[in-house]
Amino acid sequence: MMRLPSFDVAIPRTMPELLENLRPNGLGVKIMAGGTDLLVNMKQGFHISRRLVWPGRIEELRHINTQIGGEISIGAMATLSDVAASDVVKTSYPSLSKAVLSIATPAVRNRATIGGNLCLDTRCYFYNESEFWRSSLGGCLKLNIPTHGTGDVCHSAPGNAMCSAVSSSDSAPILLALGASVEIQSAQGKRIVPLSDFYANDGMRFLNLATGELLKRIILPVSRYGLRSAHNKVRSRQSVDFPLANVGIAGVVEDGRVFTYLRIYVGAIQSAPIRVPSAEALLNGREATTVLIEKGAEEAASCVKPIQNVGGTVGYRKRMVAMLVKRTLVQLLTSARD
């Protein structure tokens, strides 16, 4: 039986108190959002922390509302169920609501948060195993085990200088396609950055967060007139499982058949969601015939580089990317405006 290590939990009630708890203190402090991923990983010997900070009592981190300028603000501690059920989200961006509803199970969505899903740890066959099993390999780039090895090897891609563990967030690709930004807070102040700048394609250091910083909220821009968006994914089972590939696409359809302003993001293939501008360029401004859509889907698949470190073969996952992009583009043509 895997047991949780002992730890303390801090439950701040204000933002200043939360930020004070995040100051480095030698305890290995970590934020616990819903805990649906973090606590499981702690049982497996990852994220050794003697203190967790749970911000769930801070109301401003749970709010979902429309700002004065028309932007939508989603607090990082809003649960996935709250995001999916929000009238604000369903009215302005129903594709986000549908994407969130595809995550895990109702019980998990009632606890897991949108911020936690965006910050979901990267995954890999060689990493997401028991501590005993990992020790036999001598560690890896993502998890150094000094008593067993140097931890300077990527077992799934020997010779790689960076960890190749895979991003598994289902909300990230569609939020990226919609042009979302995030507000990051620390004791020194706040900064707002595009969500695309929040990620790095490195399975070990996949979030651009400094020590003491936290994801405070997600900001969705005012929807462009005529914008449509959709999300699709494939996984081994129809629930619970992490995605083998997922796609978020947003764009405008002019005259019923011409794509413009397309943004295509593919997730669950590399260590960060990947934008495919060459596929966008192929499709934008041209009549969306069946042949053109198939070419755009194949171009998207040619741009991603899966590694054999999660379920499905490399060839299968590339084919699934083409299938998902094609399916999602067809949905954009036939859907109502977001």
Instruction: Give the mean pLDDT per block of 10 residues along the chain (338 residues).
Output: 84 96 78 93 80 96 94 98 97 96 96 98 85 74 60 77 91 98 96 98 93 96 92 89 96 94 97 98 96 98 92 94 98 77
Eight-state DSSP code of residue 120: P
Asked whether 39 and 52 are in contact (CB, 8 A), the reply is no
User: How many domains, the chain?
Assistant: 2
Residue 323 domain flag: yes
Residues 6+ apart with CB under 8 A from 326: 293, 294, 296, 297
DSSP 260: E
Q: Which two tokens stand for residue 42?
A: 């702690």
In a domain, 277, yes or no: yes
pTM score of the predicted model: 0.94
Instruction: Report if residue 135 sits inside a domain.
Output: no
Q: How far apart are CA 187 and CA 22, in angstroms?
A: 9
Residue 255 lies in a domain: yes
Residue 257 domain flag: yes
pLDDT at 101: 96
At 318 the pLDDT is 97
Q: For residue 257, what is the domain's CATH number? A: 3.30.390.50
Domain for residue 292, yes or no? Answer: yes
Domain end call among 54, 71, 88: 54
Return the pLDDT at 144.
61
16 located within any domain: yes
Q: Classify residue 80: in a domain, yes or no.
A: no
Domain containing 257 equals 227-334
Helix (H) or strand (E) holding 10: strand 8-10
- Burial code (b: 16+ CB inside 10 Å, e: under 16) for 56-90 equals bebeebbebeeeeeebbbbbbbbbbbbbbebebbe
